Homo-oligomer: A and B are copies of this chain.
Amino acid sequence: MAVKVYGSAYASPKRVIVCLIEKGIEFETVPIDLVKGEHRHPDFLKLQPFGSVPVIQDGDYTLYESRAIIRYYSEKYKSQGTDLLGKTIEERGLVEQWLEVESQNFHPPIYNLTLHVMFASVLGFPADEQLIRESEEKLGKVLDVYEERLSKSKYLAGDFFSLADLSHLPFTQYLVGPIGKEYMIRSRKHVSAWWDDISSRPSWKTVLQL
């Protein structure tokens, strides 16, 4: 039975879909229109009480939070498709560390940029220009640390592609595209090479074509 992924048009659900493709897991998508407020519908809130996407349904198992879902499938199908967790417990520790860096350091400023540059007008609120400037500055400092790290290691957690890299794909795609700040990637040599590498994976190209 295919895994149902709710909200596939948005960035966080794409984190799940690219993982399912890397693992060779069959899925189907269920659209949820956030602009129309479908995430506030009582039926959806029964699946995800905070009203966020994604949610997956896999038989009678329901799970939400994109980074929890990608850990679940990477562990459940450890030996199927791409191994995304590292070979040892110590490698997995570093995958978790950089996945947390993505969540705690990288995500908040890039989320603010996404919301205020891409979605303010469609959602009907004024873009906060000061927040945009501050977020760009914060994100730049995070990417400076990435540049140093990626000068010593091909991927974030080591010399292997992992969930830590994969988790950056959807919002970085916004950054270099509709947010219009590709310079933040291109002005950093190692970050730029890393982005070219991870964004040219067949799994991500498939997601972009969905």
Chain A residues close to B by CB (< 8 Å): 49-50, 61, 63-65, 67-69, 71-72, 75-76, 89-90, 92-94, 96-97, 99-101, 103-105, 108, 142, 145, 148-149
- Within the complex, which residue of B69, B76, B101 is in contact with A65, where a contact is CB–CB below 8 Å? B101
Residues in chain B near residue A89, CB distance under 8 A? 72, 75-76
Contact A50–B101 (Cβ < 8 Å):
yes
Known contacts A93-B68, A94-B63; A145/B49 CB under 8 A: yes
What distance in Å separates the Cβ of A80 from its nearest Cβ neighbour in chain B?
13
Contact A65–B145 (Cβ < 8 Å):
no
Number of copies: 2
| Closest B residue, CB atoms, query A103 | B103
Contact A104–B65 (Cβ < 8 Å):
yes
Residues in chain B near residue A142, CB distance under 8 A? 50
Known contacts A68-B100, A99-B68, A103-B103; A93/B49 CB under 8 A: no
Known contacts A65-B97, A68-B97, A68-B100; A50/B105 CB under 8 A: yes
Contact B145–A67 (Cβ < 8 Å):
no
Enumerate 14 A-B pairs (CB-CB under 8 Å) in ascending A order: A49-B148, A49-B149, A50-B105, A50-B145, A61-B93, A65-B101, A67-B96, A68-B93, A68-B97, A68-B99, A71-B93, A72-B92, A100-B103, A103-B104
Instruction: Name 13 extra pairs, CB < 8 A, besides A50-B101, A68-B96, A75-B92.
Output: A49-B148, A49-B149, A50-B145, A61-B93, A63-B94, A65-B96, A65-B101, A65-B104, A68-B99, A68-B100, A71-B93, A76-B89, A100-B103
